[in-house]
Structure 1
Amino acid sequence: MTPIVPLSGYAGWRFISASLDTQVERYAASPVQARDRAYFRETIGTVTSAEALVADYRLRRVALSAFGLSDDMPNRAFVERVLSEGTVDDDALANKLADTRYRKFSEAFGFGSPLPPRTQSPGFADRILSRFDRQEFETAVGAQDEDMRLALNASREVPELAQSALGDTTAWLTVLGTPPLRSVFETALGLPASIATLDLDRQVDSFRTAAARVFGSPDFAQFTDPDKVEDLMRNFTLRAQISAGPPLTTPGYAAITLLSNMT
């Protein structure tokens, strides 16, 4: 099944966000998705090691996709190391990688810990499959409109990050270290990609300053408010649409440009 993405920009975002639950449910029920979901649910409880998980193609696919890491499907040795070293040790690979998705991935499965892996815990399959369904839908959307995929990812990840127990600086550093989120915030805040050449402290200061200018506060915790998240989505999709450069004859383009310049 192909997701319905009839429009780009903010109008497209409003459509897809309004139909999101129904579209995700329908996509998860498609034959390939349904088979992989059933297999994961039936099998994951028997997996007690990173080696066993990585050796099973279908389990590996669901696990990686659930965290937006499908590009690592061929990298079996790397994935096994990320999982097997866990996140307890500061020197574990997942804790050293700039992309924070690997830490979330490793932590979720709980290998490399004195405790039993989380694959044995009640509700584990449901939690991973919920992420899998949403991520697979986002990936399918991205095949039609990459900016819409980024918006969907951010609308899910940003509130979770804002509600976490992380401090403000750590939350902004997480954004800097998560490529999809970084892309959304850079675009929404009107920051150039060249900002990545600055040291991390100056990058955080730049993101905070821009957030205060655009959203009224430098604090990441503001994104616990759904209205602020929607403001983020609006700014991102409008600016991304303008950056894509539709012709000036496109209906409504001049209005979109003026609206974006007011943010």
Structure 2
Amino acid sequence: MQLSTDSSLLWYKLANSLKDSHMKMFEAQPTVTRDVATFKEKIGDIKSVDDLMKNRTVLTMVMSAFQLESEVGKTAMVRKILTEDPADKDSLVNKLVEPRWAKLASALYGLNSDPDFFQNQSNVDTILAGYKTNEFEKFEGENADGVREALYFKRLAGDVDQLSQIMADPTLMHVVRVSLGLPESFQTLEYSQQRDRLEKQINVEDLKDPEKVEKLIQRFLVYTEINNTDPTSNPILSLFQPISSDKFVGPQPIQIDLFV
């Protein structure tokens, strides 16, 4: 069932307040029920990384559990990451900036030495829970721009201890950048320039405060809706000073404390 709304912020609030009913809608989708059934049927046959690589449906669901489903086609890279010891500093995964690869490698490395890895129900449940969380956030994001990213940020913000964690995660960085009114060209700056600018505007400790996280998310969603709306069709956009470059329409970036 496809639902829609004109307000990203409204849909985000509905996704949180009506999560149980939305989850039932998500789980009732034919593709979801089919894939979950296939996963439960086949996961017991996965005794090695080779077995996993041969089953596209199961592999895709495993990758989705770590928000990496779009990378499932990079078979050589995936195999290398799954078979190398993530504790070895020379492993490929430790040369990648994206933290999701490290989480995948750590979670699945046991499959290399334990053919009964997926006989352990907790390992199966971990994958299924991650898959459902990721796909559910994608499902909500289909209804309104920015909602998937907002739900992801809400889920992970409390685990952020350093600014570098935000900068290494494309989705976290996207939410922060848009919430601050920074154009896409901000990403082309040197790492140190981005870091210095963000340090002036983000107090990482504030991400432990759910109320401050909600404020940031709401700002992100408002700006996302503005950026994706024709300014001539909405009079309220006249209240904002547009940025004429980088395809970004929103408030002119200013030096402020987002969490005041």
**Which TM bucket (shorter chain)?**
0.7 to 0.9
* Paired residues of 2:67 and 2:134 also in contact (CA < 8 A): yes
Query: Pairwise mapping of residues 1-263 of structure 1 onto structure 2 (< 5 A)?
Result: 1-2=1-2, 4-111=3-110, 119-159=118-158, 161-162=159-160, 168-169=161-162, 172-211=163-202, 218=203, 220-250=204-234, 253=237
TM-score (norm 1): 0.79
Q: How many Å apart are 1:243 and its aligned residue?
A: 1.9
Counterparts of 1:144 and 1:177, CA distance in 2: 27
CA distance 1:251–1:191, change in 2 (3 Å): closer
3-state secondary structure, aligned to 1:123 = helix
User: What RMSD over aligned residues (CA atoms) do the two structures have, in Å?
Assistant: 2.9
Gaps of 5+ in 2: 242-250
1:120-163, CA deviations, whole angstroms, 9 ceiling, x for partnerless residues? 5441222221121121122233344342221122122223x23x
Q: How many Å apart are 1:74 and its aligned residue?
A: 2.1
Q: How many Å apart are 1:12 and its aligned residue?
A: 2.7
Counterparts of 2:114 and 2:196, CA distance in 1: 39
Q: How many Å apart are 1:237 and its aligned residue?
A: 0.4
Counterparts of 2:115 and 2:215, CA distance in 1: 42
3-state secondary structure, aligned to 2:230 = coil
* Paired residues of 1:110 and 1:118 also in contact (CA < 8 A): no
Percent identical: 27
TM-score (norm 2): 0.80
Q: How many Å apart are 1:227 and its aligned residue?
A: 0.9
Counterparts of 1:9 and 1:26, CA distance in 2: 19
Gaps of 5+ in 1: 163-167, 212-217
* Paired residues of 2:85 and 2:91 also in contact (CA < 8 A): yes
3-state secondary structure, aligned to 1:36 = helix
Q: How many Å apart are 1:59 and its aligned residue?
A: 0.7
- Which one has a bigger Cα radius of gyration? 2
Alignment: residue pair count: 246
Counterparts of 2:113 and 2:107, CA distance in 1: 15
Deviation larger for 109-118 or 90-99: 109-118
